[in-house]
Chain A
Amino acid sequence: MKNYDMPIFAALIALLIVAPLAIYPVFLMKVLCFGLFALAFNLLIGYVGLLSFGHAMFFGFSAYISAYTVKVWGWPTEIGILAGTAVAAILGLIAGAIAIRRQGIYFAMVTLALAQMVFFFCLQAPFTGGEDGIQAVPRRPLLGFIDITRDINFYYVVLAIFAAGFLIIYRTIHSPFGQVLKAIRENEPRAISLGYHVDRYKLLAFVLSATLAGLAGGTKAIVFQLASLTDVTWQMSGEVVLMTLVGGMGTVFGPMVGAAVIITMQNYLAGFGEWVLVIQGFIFVVTVLLFRRGVVGEIAALASRLGRGRESSARMAGSPAAGH
Chain B
Amino acid sequence: MFELIGVPPQALFGQLLLGLINGAFYALLSLGLAVIFGMLNVINFAHGAQYMMGAFGAWMLLQYVGIPYWGALLVVPVIIGATGIILERLLLARLYHLDHLYGLLLTFGLALIFEGLFRKQYGSSGLPYANPIPGGTNLGFMFLPWYRGWVVLISIVVCLATWFMIEKTKLGSYLRAATENPTLVRAFGINVPRMMTLTYGFGVGLAALAGVLAAPIYSVNPIMGSNLIIVVFAVVVIGGMGSIMGSIVTGFGLGVIEGLTKVFYPEASNTVIFIIMAIVLMLRPAGLFGTPR
Contact = CB atoms under 8 A, between A and B. Distances in A.
Contacts of A277: 112-113, 115-116, 119
Given A110-B281, A277-B115, A280-B112, A117 B274 contact: yes
A156 interface: no
Contact of A113 (B37, B94, B230, B285): B230
A284 B108 contact: yes
Interface stretch (B99-107, B167-175, B203-211): B99-107
Given A109-B237, A113-B233, A113-B234, A281 B116 contact: yes
B114 to A, nearest CB: 8
A108 B277 contact: no
B236 interface: yes
A130 interface: no
A113 B274 contact: yes
Given A113-B277, A289-B91, A51 B101 contact: yes
B282 A98 contact: yes
Interface stretch (A99-107, A162-170, A221-229, A311-319): A99-107
B145 interface: no
Interface residues of B, number: 41
A44 B100 CA distance: 16
A117 B275 contact: yes
B281 A289 contact: no
B230 A104 contact: no
Interface residues of A, number: 40
A289 B101 contact: no
Q: Interface residues of A: mostly helix, strand, loop or mixed? A: helix
B102 A116 contact: no
A101 B111 CA distance: 27
A24 interface: no
A98 B101 contact: no
Interface string B6-26: 000000000000000000000
B157 interface: no
A284 B106 contact: yes
Contacts of A120: 270-271, 274
B128 to A, nearest CB: 21
A105 B236 CA distance: 11
Nearest to B43: A105
Interface in B262-293: 267, 270-271, 274-275, 277-278, 281-282, 285
13 contacts: A98-B281, A105-B43, A105-B100, A106-B237, A109-B233, A113-B230, A116-B274, A124-B270, A274-B117, A275-B116, A277-B115, A278-B117, A282-B113
Interface of A: 51, 98-99, 101-102, 104-106, 108-110, 112-114, 116-117, 120-121, 123-124, 234, 238, 241, 245, 273-285, 288-289, 292
